[in-house]
A and B are shown apart, each in its own frame.
Chain A
Amino acid sequence: MSDIVAAADQVATTKLLNVAEGLLGTQTKSGSGSLGPFSASYSASVNFTGGSVVLTPPNVIELANVHLNYSVNLSFGLDLNDFLPHFCLPQICIFGFCTPKICISWPTVTIPFGFSDTVDISADFTLNPHLQGPDWLIDIVIVGVPLLQFGATTASILAALGLAITAAVAWIPFIGPFLAAAVIVIVAAIGIAGLTGLLGSIITPFVSGLTFNIYKQKQHFPVLPASGPNDPEVDINITALNATVQASDKNELVIAGDFTA
């Protein structure tokens, strides 16, 4: 029999989760990846909010509909010669002389693009009570990597990317007549698959190994203050801490600990 036992039902555990999400805060990452045929560099930030807990004995905590809020800034190089036709200003004659035919070399431009969105994740987590330094921690750790469903919003992100490309290249002389058609081709070359592929490679590492700390307690802490020179402070030292999901009249997260005074 443990020295101390505490229990939290699903509602209470959901509250613990929501606090843990806030404590986890915003995580950031930068790198590079493929955006369809382009190589893109990116920086991304992610935080988690919401969601609910389903406790399943013996040790599974299912988190449902946790909102993964992400913000991505990416940039990629675009060699417009790959997407625009060869174009020359024609020779024109007037006033007894002729301009030469002048062919235009399209530049390579960098397209900056930022967007934010939310994807909901649901996954099973397992309990991991452990001592870390002076603290006992109870973490819940994701089991496996859930499938990220970026869903319908990727189409609107792709449309926004098309607008970003248009804005980034509109200044280029003589591009105007070709621009609408070129943007359609470029966006099609990236496609939903290209965008979700990049998003997957960016976001998945934030989810893989995802850990929320739902409980933290000093291993050694006072329970009674000193009340005189002959009555010193009484401390407790937690020697073991365990967490399980147990079924009683309702499923509960049960934390049990042993201590020495």
Chain B
Amino acid sequence: MNSLDSRSLRIGDCYAQKFDIEGEVRYALSHSYLTRALDKDDFLITVNKRAQKGEPAQHTVHVTSKNGELTPDLNPLEIASGDIVLWYTTHPSVLGFAVTGVGPKFAFGSGALRAEGVYTHAFGVPGTFDWVNPLDPKIYGSVDVKAVDARDAKQLKAWYALLEKPAAFEIKDGKVSPKRVDIVVGQTVFWKVWNGDGVAITDKRLAEAGGTVYTSARR
């Protein structure tokens, strides 16, 4: 499956969060929405003070599944303020995971994207995908994914070139820009949330099928 759902990250999806506030951050990886409070047994990110001349870095966390338990390859993780942590999986047995975390004075999660949160999804099949934030139906958009037939080397090369071009939605002050993007199969779309109380990016059909209710964990 290649579902568009930031609450259930699969192969081809990423969730990234920028951490500006120093301190201890705890997060959990779960197969579905986490409804419990986080504690010291959850995964740890320590956000240190940034050295004055240091550039922000990206820390990429690969999520795997061991005996049914979702596990990050980097834990504990030490970063500097302003750094970005990105979670993704390539593990076939990970059939969807969510990131839910809390830090000093803030919460974050793939199911409730807040400031400086990004969700990415590579579209694997053609079609028109209407998406919606199930927490606020006024936040919505559409992705039109064109089919590609790359049966010769020239077509394949042209397609690969297209795959390197991102398409993006930006969500700011409850508004989505643009409302629609046009891509081809295999291209990745980014959802960047600049502010807000929490945005989930969900295929409208999933939301209508009952995937609209969830509780994010807050300390």
- Measured CB to CB, the residues of A under 8 A from B are 89-90, 92-100, 102-105, 107, 170-181, 184
Q: Once the chains bind, are A97 and B150 in contact (CB under 8 Å)?
A: no
Q: Once the chains bind, are B166 and A173 in contact (CB under 8 Å)?
A: no
Question: What are the 10 A-B residue pairs with the smallest beta carbon separation, nearest first?
Answer: A173-B124, A173-B2, A177-B150, A181-B151, A177-B148, A174-B124, A94-B166, A97-B84, A92-B166, A176-B185
Bound Cα distance from A64 to B154, whole angstroms: 55
Bound Cα distance from A104 to B122, whole angstroms: 12
Query: Of the candidates B60, B88, B125, B168, which one forms a contact with A171 in the assembled complex, judged by CB atoms under 8 Å apart?
Result: B125
Q: Once the chains bind, are B12 and A102 in contact (CB under 8 Å)?
A: yes
Q: Once the chains bind, are A104 and B125 in contact (CB under 8 Å)?
A: no
Asked if B48 is an interface residue, CB under 8 A from chain A, the answer is: no
Q: Once the chains bind, are A89 and B12 in contact (CB under 8 Å)?
A: yes
Bound Cα distance from A90 to B160, whole angstroms: 8
Q: Mark B172-197, 1 if CB is under 8 A from A, else 0.
A: 00000000000001101010100000
25 pairs, CB–CB < 8 Å, chain A vs chain B = A89-B188, A90-B164, A92-B120, A92-B164, A92-B166, A94-B168, A94-B190, A96-B18, A96-B56, A97-B16, A99-B14, A99-B88, A100-B60, A107-B92, A172-B124, A173-B1, A173-B122, A173-B124, A174-B2, A176-B126, A176-B147, A176-B185, A177-B185, A178-B150, A180-B151
Q: Once the chains bind, are A98 and B168 in contact (CB under 8 Å)?
A: no
Most buried by B among A94, A95, A175: A95
- Measured CB to CB, the residues of B under 8 A from A are 1-2, 11-12, 14, 16, 18, 56, 58, 60, 62, 84, 86, 88, 90, 92, 118, 120, 122, 124-126, 147-151, 155-156, 159-160, 163-166, 168, 185-186, 188, 190, 192
Q: Once the chains bind, are A102 and B88 in contact (CB under 8 Å)?
A: yes
Q: Once the chains bind, are A104 and B126 in contact (CB under 8 Å)?
A: no
Q: Once the chains bind, are A177 and B186 in contact (CB under 8 Å)?
A: yes
Q: How far is the CB of A90 from chain B (nearest CB, A)?
A: 5
Contacts of B118 in A (CB 8 A): 95, 97
Q: Once the chains bind, are A177 and B125 in contact (CB under 8 Å)?
A: no
Q: Once the chains bind, are A97 and B58 in contact (CB under 8 Å)?
A: yes
Besides A90-B164, A100-B14, A100-B86, 14 other A-B contacts (C-beta < 8 A): A92-B166, A97-B118, A99-B14, A102-B90, A104-B11, A173-B2, A174-B186, A176-B124, A177-B149, A177-B156, A177-B185, A178-B150, A179-B149, A181-B150
Q: How far is the CB of A98 from chain B (nearest CB, A)?
A: 6
Q: How far is the CB of B108 from chain A (nearest CB, A)?
A: 15
Contacts of B164 in A (CB 8 A): 90, 92
Q: Which B residue sits closest to A91, measured CB to CB?
A: B164
Q: Which B residue sits closest to A85, measured CB to CB?
A: B156
Bound Cα distance from A16 to B189, whole angstroms: 72
Contacts of B166 in A (CB 8 A): 92-94
Q: How far is the CB of A10 from chain B (nearest CB, A)?
A: 57
Contacts of B2 in A (CB 8 A): 173-174
Q: A89-B163, A173-B2, A180-B151 are in contact. Are A99 and B124 (CB under 8 A)?
A: no
Q: Which A residue sits closest to B155, measured CB to CB?
A: A177
Q: How far is the CB of B155 from chain A (nearest CB, A)?
A: 8
Most buried by A among B92, B163, B165: B163
Q: Which B residue sits closest to A101, measured CB to CB?
A: B90
